Amino acid sequence: MKSAQYIREVPQRYRLEAGKCTGCGKLHFPPRLVCDGCGSREFEAATLPRQGTLLTWTVIHAAPPQFSLETPYVVGIVELDGGVRLTCQVADCDPEELAVGAPVELVFRRIKEDNAADIIQYGYKAVLRRE
Q: Which is nearer to Zn ion, 26 or 50 (CB)?
A: 26
Rounded to 5°, the CA angle 73-75-76 comes to: 145
Q: Which is nearer to Zn ion, 40 or 71 (CB)?
A: 40
Q: C-beta of 12: minimal distance to Zn ion in Å?
A: 19
Q: C-beta of 46: minimal distance to Zn ion in Å?
A: 13
Q: Which is nearer to Zn ion, 1 or 24 (CB)?
A: 24
Which residue type does 108 have?
A: F
Sequence-distant contacts of 113-118: CB under 8 A, at least 24 apart: 114/1, 114/6, 114/66, 117/1, 117/2, 117/3, 117/6
Residues that bind Zn ion (CB under 5 A): 21, 23-24, 26, 35, 37-38, 40
